[in-house]
Copies of this chain bind each other. A is one copy, B any other.
Amino acid sequence: MYDMGLVVALLQLNPKVGDLEGNAAEVERAVALAAENGADMAITSELIISGYPPRDLLLDPEFVVRCAEVTANIETPIPLIVGTPLPPTADRHLPSNGTMRLVPGRKAKVATRKQLLPTYDVFDELRYFEPDKAPGILRLSDNLSIGVTICEDAWQHAGEVPADYDADPIEQLAAWQHQGEPLALSVNLSSSPYHLHKEGMRGDVVRAASKTLGHPYLLCNQVGGNDDLLFDGRSLVAWPDGRLAQAPAWCMGVFLVDIEDSNSGRWLPWPAGECCDECSCDVETIAAGSDPKNPETGIDLLAAITTGLGDYCRKSGIKQLVIAMSGGLDSSVCAAIACRTVGPENVLGLAMPSRYSSDHSLSDAKATAEALGMELHTHSISELHDAAEAELSDELADGNPVALENIQSRLRGMMIMALANSRNAMAITTGNKSELAMGYCTLYGDMVGGYAPLGDLYKTEVYAVAHAINSEAERFGDKAPITESTLTKPPSAELAPDQLDQDTLPPYKILDSILESHIESGASASTLIDLGHDEKMVGWILKRLHDNEHKRWQMPPAPRVSNRAFGQGWRQPLAAKK
């Protein structure tokens, strides 16, 4: 029906939650670019107009009506399918997570509504949306009908959901085809959050759909960060024989593909001509039977958390960052991330030595700041520390000695926040997931800040990111920002003489292995012991993990990079559990 095969554009964009007009304008510009480059039709990601996740904005009926209106007014030179919240179909119903069809010269029309509403982990769609029951069939023209699904709609078919749904929208499309009119292709508008090594899972989902349907299955994903959620892009297309074509990660662009040619994928960076340094910006073609290339862990995580902090700042209007630098691994990596996102000229480091600080604390922090080209100020906490101890000496004499350690951390927190407040800047929290899990951190001390770039990375992953930062600098001929000393010295909080993390915690390699099995895969104590871990250590770690829930309740948002954070989508209950 089309000479060259139908060319579809997947608009891989980065919407800002709540900015309806801005998001719509971005869609207009991207679809114009797609049309100029030969696209016959285009699709966006899920809920591109509201941005994902819109959360409680959806509780305002006026907001939902505005989303549909703004969508209907989008101008497009080619047929376009746009993801947007839609007003309820009946009185006393919830809105829908749906799509509208825009065709030049015709009136905008509601196309389909999402059937499977994920309500687990970071998802909570049954709070906000009514599930639909109708198969997603869309007649675009006399000779072109397609299947339209939205994100989760495709995951049941691949068995990649934690509990089964009653319906399978892919089977519905297949049944429709058996009854008569064939579909040329099916599309999936997604806002599929990132976690490390999710590529293979998404590949399975689109392959299963394409195989069942016997036609190409095209998935357009959101990219960028909104609040604590990250989206990696990696829009992708599957053909019935198992071939895949995948768009780049972590950048915006238009992914053009001729559905009759799996080698036809083209990537148009967006805004036009600009592209990031991190990605090669090529479409990856994957043979049947092969999986998408797993990116190197450190490199992918570096891109992920840079995207998270960068979008958080840009979308919230934050222009300057302040960061406490101890010369340790976490703060050095955070400083490097901060410089990548707002530029080194907008990052202020603060070294705050105390009587327990080692010499390398300051020298490592200075070397890192210098390599990054950022400012570093030094303010000792010694006088404040002495004054606090003098004022409180009677109170603390016979108490828990942790009080004295925490005073230092909290004085530093006070100073960091003073500089942030004074400059209208945001302070960054430098803690990682391993120490947050163990509560090996000070509430209102090193936990202060508006965003925790490493809050969902285990310590061993922070090392991988550090190496990726250094490799990148070396590739560009720059000095490696994370010093050899920082990378090799034993981690220490330096809140007591000669204190080392490993005096209190198990070695990070063991700790992280146990935490990861328990948190990400749900391994129980007995499973962990069966895996060969020491029984006493397992008990100690799990108890400490539980006992520190109250600290995590008050932590700032952290970009989600793992399969499971600390129930950050849905906060964990507090202490009352036995």
Q: Report Cα–Cα, A452/B299, bound state, in Å.
A: 42
Q: Report Cα–Cα, A390/B379, bound state, in Å.
A: 11
How far apart are A427's CB and chain B's nearest CB, in angstroms? 10
Residues of chain B within 8 A (CB-CB) of A59 are: 522
A388→B384 contact, CB < 8 A: yes
Is A502 part of the contact surface with B, judged by Cβ < 8 Å?
no
Contact of A400 among B130, B392, B403, B423 (CB under 8 A): B423
How far apart are A158's CB and chain B's nearest CB, in angstroms? 13
Residues of chain B within 8 A (CB-CB) of A573 are: 17, 53-57, 226-227
Residues of chain B within 8 A (CB-CB) of A127 are: 119-120, 124, 570
Residues of chain B within 8 A (CB-CB) of A317 are: 575
Residues of chain B within 8 A (CB-CB) of A392 are: 379, 415, 418-419
Is A321 part of the contact surface with B, judged by Cβ < 8 Å?
no
A92→B570 contact, CB < 8 A: no
Contact of A56 among B163, B316, B396, B570 (CB under 8 A): B570
Residues of chain B within 8 A (CB-CB) of A575 are: 312, 315-317
Interface residues of A in 447-485 (CB under 8 A from B): 448, 450
Q: Which stretch of A28-36, A207-215, A237-245, A406-414 is in the interface?
A: A406-414
Q: Which stretch of A333-341, A504-512, A534-542, A548-556 is in the interface?
A: A548-556
Q: Report Cα–Cα, A522/B63, bound state, in Å.
A: 12
> Can you name the residue of chain B whose Cβ is closest to the Cβ of A22?
B578
Residues of chain B within 8 A (CB-CB) of A417 are: 403, 406, 410, 443-444
Residues of chain B within 8 A (CB-CB) of A293 are: none
Interface residues of A in 379-401 (CB under 8 A from B): 379-380, 383-384, 387-388, 390-392, 395-396, 399-400
Q: Report Cα–Cα, A541/B421, bound state, in Å.
A: 21
How far apart are A322's CB and chain B's nearest CB, in angstroms? 10
B421→A402 contact, CB < 8 A: yes
Q: Report Cα–Cα, A522/B88, bound state, in Å.
A: 18
B570→A55 contact, CB < 8 A: yes
Residues of chain B within 8 A (CB-CB) of A399 are: 421-423
Q: Report Cα–Cα, A567/B94, bound state, in Å.
A: 18
Interface residues of A in 159-178 (CB under 8 A from B): 163-164
Is A60 part of the contact surface with B, judged by Cβ < 8 Å?
yes
Q: Report Cα–Cα, A53/B576, bound state, in Å.
A: 11
Query: Could you mark each residue 411-435 of chain A with 1 if its beta carbon is under 8 Å from any beta carbon of chain B, else 0?
Result: 1011101110111100000000000
How far apart are A24's CB and chain B's nearest CB, in angstroms? 13
Is A107 part of the contact surface with B, judged by Cβ < 8 Å?
no
Q: Report Cα–Cα, A555/B395, bound state, in Å.
A: 27
> Can you name the residue of chain B whose Cβ is closest to the Cβ of A419?
B395
Residues of chain B within 8 A (CB-CB) of A524 are: 60, 62
B383→A391 contact, CB < 8 A: yes
A553→B556 contact, CB < 8 A: yes
- A403-B422 in contact given A163-B94, A414-B414, A553-B556 (Cβ < 8 Å): yes
> Can you name the residue of chain B whose Cβ is closest to the Cβ of A526?
B62
How far apart are A495's CB and chain B's nearest CB, in angstroms? 12
Is A574 part of the contact surface with B, judged by Cβ < 8 Å?
yes
- A400-B421 in contact given A55-B573, A553-B556, A570-B55 (Cβ < 8 Å): yes
Interface residues of A in 72-124 (CB under 8 A from B): 88, 92-94, 119-120, 124
Residues of chain B within 8 A (CB-CB) of A489 are: none
Q: Report Cα–Cα, A576/B577, bound state, in Å.
A: 34
A227→B421 contact, CB < 8 A: no
Is A520 part of the contact surface with B, judged by Cβ < 8 Å?
no
Sample of 23 A–B contacts (CB below 8 Å): A16-B576, A20-B578, A55-B570, A59-B522, A62-B524, A226-B576, A227-B576, A316-B574, A379-B391, A379-B395, A383-B390, A384-B384, A387-B387, A388-B415, A392-B419, A399-B421, A403-B418, A403-B421, A407-B418, A410-B417, A410-B444, A554-B556, A557-B574
A→B interface (CB under 8 Å): 16-20, 22, 51, 53-57, 59-60, 62, 88, 92-94, 119-120, 124, 126-127, 130, 163-164, 226-228, 311-312, 315-317, 377, 379-380, 383-384, 387-388, 390-392, 395-396, 399-400, 402-404, 406-407, 410-411, 413-415, 417-419, 421-424, 443-444, 448, 450, 522, 524, 550, 553-557, 567, 570-578
Counting from the closest, the 8 A-B pairs by CB-CB distance are A399-B422, A18-B577, A316-B575, A315-B576, A403-B421, A403-B422, A410-B414, A92-B164
